[in-house]
Chains A and B, each alone.
Chain A
Amino acid sequence: AQSVTQLDSQVPVFEEAPVELRCNYSSSVSVYLFWYVQYPNQGLQLLLKYLSGSTLVKGINGFEAEFNKSQTSFHLRKPSVHISDTAEYFCAAPSGAGGTSYGKLTFGQGTILTVHP
């Protein structure tokens, strides 16, 4: 089964600065990874996903993530953040191994990104 660890519980940044939210995974089988975002008082929505192919994945709202197999990481980045990016971000991976995961996800602990003016 895969597990994910988000290395920072809170990340404060100023508007227009770059940001990186870190996620490490552990898996001995095929890797599938996701980033979800939760805006204040809302449910989660998919930001981007890595299934296979290119290790650089582009998502919504200018975010991207890079899958790094050697470092078992899937860090989320944005070159210039806006106030509206203030939210909690979750890294996630299927709970089981490959096709036997039955669509279940394991979530990281979450990283609260706060963008200051």
Chain B
Amino acid sequence: DADVTQTPRNRITKTGKRIMLECSQTKGHDRMYWYRQDPGLGLRLIYYSFDVKDINKGEISDGYSVSRQAQAKFSLSLESAIPNQTALYFCATSDGKGAWYNEQFFGPGTRLTVL
């Protein structure tokens, strides 16, 4: 079984709808991240969380919100989806113990299309 899972893998929705993307991990990591990938722009950080009570905005948080329900679960919500939120979304985890530059482990991604 995959260590970092994302659901759904694909989603098509309409402008104005509320969407939730879910991420679960079995790696026991305390740090979790949400990124979006757009062609030619690489990955950009939306939100990150270093433990259940710690949530921080990334570089492109406008229009998004998150919830850290447990150490293993980190959800990303689009309260009112718009077409320019069409992208590939990745969840990632890392182990906050020890070095701060520990490797990040990525889920398989969720492809979201907003019509």
Contacts and interface: CB of A to CB of B under 8 A. Distances in A.
A61 B48 CA distance: 30
A1 B43 CA distance: 17
Interface stretch (A37-45, A63-71, A75-83): A37-45
A44 B106 contact: yes
Contacts of B90: 43-44
A9 B94 contact: no
Interface in A7-46: 9, 32, 34, 41-46
A51 B100 CA distance: 11
B56 to A, nearest CB: 8
B96 A103 contact: yes
Chain A interface residue bracket vs B: 20 to 34
Contacts of A42: 108-109
B26 interface: no
B72 interface: no
A107 B108 contact: no
Nearest to B96: A103
Contacts of B58: 104
Contacts of B55: none
B104 A105 contact: yes
The 9 closest A-B pairs by CB, nearest first: A43-B106, A107-B42, A107-B43, A44-B106, A109-B42, A46-B103, A43-B108, A110-B42, A103-B100
Given A43-B90, A103-B31, A109-B41, 20 more contacts: A6-B42, A41-B108, A43-B4, A43-B107, A43-B109, A44-B43, A44-B90, A44-B104, A44-B106, A45-B106, A51-B101, A99-B100, A101-B100, A102-B50, A103-B50, A103-B94, A104-B33, A104-B58, A109-B42, A110-B42
